[in-house]
Amino acid sequence: MPHRADFPAIEVTVFPAACRAYVVLLFVAMATTATAASADSRPSPAASLAPCTLPGVAHPARCGSIEVPENPDKPDGRQLSLNIVVLPARNGHALPDPVAFLSGGPGQAATSDPAHLSTILAGINEERDLLLLDQRGTGKSAPLRCPLVDAADTAPNLRDIFPPAAIKRCIKALSATADLTQYSLRHFARDLETVRVALGYESLNLYGFSYGTRAAQVYLRTYPKTSRTAYLGSMAPIDADVLLEFPDAAEQTLVRTFDACAADAACHAAFPALRQEFATLLERLDSGSVVVTAAGTNTKVTLSRGRFAERLRSMLYTPESAVSVPWVLHQAHEGNWQPLADGMLDFARSMDAQASMGLFFSITCNEDVAFLREADIRARATPRQFGDFRIRSQQAACALWPRYRVPDGYRKPIQTDVPTMLVSAELDPATPASLAARAAPGYTRHVEVLLRGQGHSGWTDCIGERYAQLLRQGTVEGISRECPATPWPAFQLKAEEAPADGKG
């Protein structure tokens, strides 16, 4: 979701501005039933929706569920109840092609913040439904909760992003009630098509951010005839090893953050030697001399450079959180590492509260990490400032997680003529604009837009207008590639000014 926190990795678009970038709208007519039938010859299940009221949403909504088999090859086996929320067109005469928001993570629930979507898509919602379908394994759709923080012992979270003991606990607990090999993006695309058919929509306008763009690509490939348009924000191409992008993308975003501080009179006056202080911090971390205390305990933990780098990268996901980076680094340079250590734990807790990390592992372990090559890791991650800690941590977790195989050719680049907007952000430490540029040739009818001054899953009024134009005309013709740059927010200069966190 725009300006939410995604777990990159891929990333988690967390909610709200406090964790806005490091954690859907999923939207049948007789004419389209044949398309769904080609994927499933069984009768389509019925969706049961009823009027409901949503916090922060002024207009009436419809809420309900639909049941689908956990394993499509075993239709009489365990059933999943998928949570659906529809924000009906406000004019009372909905067009037949709703907007389908595909949430990021993977692991974020589409229904987490309908008020935000209702606000930024208010004009579009005037004549189109917005459909939010919690992806299987998230929200209220059989969530695969996987707590990574043990309140009684937070020290492991200062050592590891994904503590091995927590991963083992999750696998044991979740496997008692779920087949963790049945939560793929292919199954999710099938679920989305099932919902489209059940609700009577002719086609979908796919609206995805971060890892939600992967879900959009799988749907585009599987159901091209019922995909009217696509919006892919902070794109993660299906053929890309996105984890390998993190080190360089984070380094470039950090450089831009340092440049912005140097150009800001107040920030430069407060932190005149920021680059030198950062270099000193890396030396101290490499020496093993940095020790922090786990919150709520007396446990001392030696902080590694890798764990520090991943926390720093998470803070760079949006400018709103990146503006605290100079202050946090300066505090550490002066010997106060606690703000950074506390931030690590705060973010880990936010992930537990807002994301289904079990789904995150099920998908990323099998659809990303399984395809990483050691030579590429050593060439593109290990030598960089931000290093390969994140990749190695995810590999370690995935070595334990149940596996499934994707079909041959699954990771081939998408080829489609569906009108598509490819929207990237200048300050993105996870999915740089180069990824969208690389994928663009496969989208024969596309427009690329770079949001200057925005971070991961960025959104502005300008891009909202461009998206509304795409929906009105159903083509990318005449859509401008330009949007005004967003100025940097004010930098944090002292403790009480600390902004809400960005991503982790």
Distance between CA atoms of residues 1 and 13, nearest Å: 7
CA dist., res. 266 & res. 51, Å (int): 52
- Sheet with 48-52, strands from edge to edge, namely 48-52, 61-69, 79-87, 130-133, 99-102, 204-209, 227-233, 420-427, 446-455
Report CA torsion sign: 499, 391, 248, 453. negative
Hunting for tokens 């043990």 — which residue is that?
A: 150
- The CB-side HSE value for 27 (13 A sphere, CA atoms) comes to 31
Tens place of pLDDT for every residue, the chain, 504 residues? 675 444 444 443 333 333 333 332 222 222 223 333 334 445 678 888 999 999 999 999 999 999 999 999 999 999 999 999 999 999 999 999 999 999 999 999 999 999 999 999 999 999 999 999 999 999 999 999 999 999 999 999 999 999 999 999 999 999 999 999 999 999 999 999 999 999 999 999 999 999 999 999 999 999 999 999 999 999 999 999 999 999 999 999 999 999 999 999 999 999 999 999 999 999 999 999 999 999 888 899 999 999 999 999 999 999 999 999 999 999 999 999 999 999 999 999 999 999 999 999 999 999 999 999 999 999 999 999 999 999 999 999 999 999 999 999 999 999 999 999 999 999 999 999 999 999 999 999 999 999 999 999 999 999 999 999 999 999 999 999 999 999 999 999 998 765 555 443
Position 42 scores a pLDDT of 55
Decide if 502 contacts 320 (C-beta within 8 A). yes
Return phi, psi of residue 326, to 5°: -55, -45
Q: Is 436 helix (H, G, I), strand (E, B) or coil?
A: helix
Q: Is 402 helix (H, G, I), strand (E, B) or coil?
A: coil
Displacement of CA 276 from its chain's centroid (Å): 33
Coil/strand/helix, residue 30: helix
C-alpha dihedral sign at 329, 333, 336, 337:
positive
- Which of 116, 114, 106, 119 has its CA nearest to residue 208? 106
Kindly state the tokens that stand for 94. 């909905």
